[in-house]
């Protein structure tokens, strides 16, 4: 990675980790092998994010639409999540990484919910990188839940309808308190958001790379950061207004 200053780094990078199955298929392997190699890419990326001083890293681990996949593959993915938390939680805690989970938890099995809660509670006071895991996450569902929460408060007379503002919606999203992503990366060459952080991505920079997720490594990550730092971010204003808008 090139020489950088703290002010030039993105504060928050989000990644759509795509291509595990295609990576495996190219090699004549079962899809689960691609997912397992993808977990290694997660570990390397988290380490790289910590090395460069990133404050927030969000990983799209399991979407609300992924339940439509074959039961065997869903079970494999859930098993990998459990294994990752059980194996890596102590190391992440030691590295001062805070874990935060976003997504709908109401429909999750108790064992999954318990692991997610344990990960969050164990690391809640850590102050280095915040690793945001988007699990059973869908952005439209997230926005709908935030809107419903505001609607209930309006109906109960707790707030006036005039209080339903963009800031009020932001405060009720799963990502409340987390800055919007500066950079969203998607691997595998696909160029779409796939229901990921739709509200939060209003002024994000996008980078679509051809590598399948299992091939994503620290070199690729640092290259993405370098590319981000060449972008001219205006936030809808003129160049001389960027510093104010992005403050």
Instruction: Please tell me which residue in 3, 18, 136, 215 is annotated as part of the active site.
Output: 18
Listed in sequence order, the residues at least 6 apart from 18 whose beta carbon sits closer than 8 Å to its beta carbon are 186, 187, 188, 190, 212, 213
Instruction: State the binding site.
Output: 18-23, 31, 35, 63-65, 67, 69, 186, 192-194, 205
Q: Binding site membership for Mg(2+): which residues?
A: 18, 205
3, 66, 111, 232: the active-site residue: 66
- Is the separation of the CB atoms in 206 and 38 below 8 Å? no
At 137, is the secondary structure helix, strand, or coil? Answer: strand
The phi and psi torsions of 49 (rounded to 5 degrees) equal -60, -40
Whether 88 is a known active-site residue: answer: no
Strands lying side by side in the sheet with 130-137: 98-102, 130-137, 56-63, 12-16, 183-186, 205-208
Specify whether 195 is catalytic. Answer: no
Which amino acids are annotated as binding site for substrate, given as ranges?
19-23, 31, 35, 63-65, 67, 69, 186, 192-194
240 Cβ contact partners less than 8 Å away, ≥ 6 residues apart: none
Which residues are marked as active site?
18, 66
């Amino acid at each position: 990675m090139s020489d950088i200053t703290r002010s030039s780094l993105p504060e928050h990078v989000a990644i759509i980790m795509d291509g595990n199955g295609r990576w495996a298929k190219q090699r004549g392997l079962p899809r689960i092998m691609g997912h397992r190699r993808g977990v290694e890419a997660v570990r390397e990326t988290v380490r790289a994010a910590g090395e460069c001083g990133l404050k927030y890293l969000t990983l799209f681990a399991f979407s609300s639409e992924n339940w439509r996949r074959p039961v065997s593959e869903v079970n494999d993915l859930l098993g990998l999540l459990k294994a990752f938390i059980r194996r890596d939680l102590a190391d992440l805690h030691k590295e001062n990484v805070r874990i935060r989970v976003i997504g709908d938890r109401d429909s999750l099995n108790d064992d999954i919910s318990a692991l997610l809660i344990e990960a969050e509670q164990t690391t809640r006071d850590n102050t280095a990188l915040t690793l945001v895991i988007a699990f059973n996450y869908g952005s439209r569902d997230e926005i709908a839940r935030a809107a419903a929460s505001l609607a209930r408060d309006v109906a109960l007379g707790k707030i006036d309808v005039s209080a339903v503002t963009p800031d009020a919606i932001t405060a009720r999203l799963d990502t409340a308190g987390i800055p919007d992503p500066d950079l969203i990366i998607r691997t595998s060459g696909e160029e779409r958001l796939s229901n990921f952080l739709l509200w939060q991505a209003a002024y994000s920079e996008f980078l679509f790379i051809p590598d399948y997720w299992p091939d994503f490594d620290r070199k690729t990550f640092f290259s993405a950061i370098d590319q981000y730092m060449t972008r001219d971010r205006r936030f809808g204003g003129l160049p001389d207004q960027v510093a104010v808008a992005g403050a």
